[in-house]
Amino acid sequence: MLFFTQCFGAVLDLIHLRFQHYKAKRVFSAAGQLVCVVNPTHSLKYAPTRCAAAQESTEQGILPPCHHHEAVHDPQLVPCTCPLFSCPWEGHLEVVVSHLRQTHRINILQGAEIVFLATDMHLPAPTDWIIMHSCLGHQFLLVLRKQEKYEGHPQFFATMMLIGTPSQANNFTYRLELNRNQRRLKWEATPRSVLECVDSVISDGDCLVLNTSLAQLFSDNGSLAIGIAITTSKVHSSEGEM
């Protein structure tokens, strides 16, 4: 009976995932966009990343401990960019993608325009939805986070990070777009580099920010579809329009 129950639960999860994917394809197939269903990563024991801890220490006037081996060998070592995991890994930019795929099982989708379908938006904060986007010869990391910036008031933050240097990131423009029930919300900006910190990008508000009521307005049965487009551009702007 235990075996049957476990198998039956797995089958139900698979049916639910296929149903969500079918709904997204039906909505966005006319635009010829690829759809990726992204399940949430939820942790009741949120462990801040080292870059977040360093930022907090700096704000309190406490300098982070000096790691001589990092400074001597390579000051550009990247800590793990996967939120909600207290992952001690660090490495060069060239191996960040393989670490995210092999260790944290982050999916990667290719195409100039894709649709990021985040499921289970009702889960309590903190919760993340993460995917890698391969486009124009580079890899980008899209992070959608549900977080309480103020106690009792969760918000959704969506940002795009280039797995590359800041100078490389300045060559691109990304667009996040929500479109439902004759309403459209668009955010366009220059991606940030993963050499910076996802936590600092969110705390600065340099990303698409949705309060709960606005997210519900664009969601469908607890799922939020975000259209993603990346272009090369030398002219950078950051705007939110509705």
Question: What is the predicted pLDDT for the residue at 85?
Answer: 59
Q: How far apart are CA 64 and CA 50, in angstroms?
A: 10
Q: Is the pLDDT confidence value at 17 over 70?
A: no
Residue 53 belongs to a domain: no
Residue 135 belongs to a domain: yes
| 215 CB-near residues (< 8 Å, 6+ apart) | 121, 156, 224
The residue among 175 and 49 whose pLDDT is bigger is 175
Q: Which residues pair with 230 in a beta bridge?
A: 174
First to last CA, the chain: 53
Q: Which amino acid is at 216?
A: Q
pLDDT digits (tens, 9 = 90+) for 114-166: 999 999 999 998 899 999 899 999 999 999 999 998 888 899 999 999 999 99
Residue 208 belongs to a domain: yes
Q: Is the pLDDT confidence value at 109 over 80?
A: yes
Residue 22 belongs to a domain: no
Number of domains in the chain: 1
192: closest CA among 136, 124, 141, 122? 141
pLDDT digits (tens, 9 = 90+) for 177-188: 999 988 999 999
* Confidence (pTM): 0.71
CATH number of the domain encompassing residue 133: 2.60.210.10
Domain hosting 97: range is 33-40+78-232
Residue 24 belongs to a domain: no
Residue 220 belongs to a domain: yes
Q: How far apart are CA 136 and CA 141, in angstroms?
A: 14
Residue 168 belongs to a domain: yes
The residue among 101 and 139 whose pLDDT is bigger is 139
User: 90 by DSSP, 3-state: which?
Assistant: strand
Residue 67 belongs to a domain: no
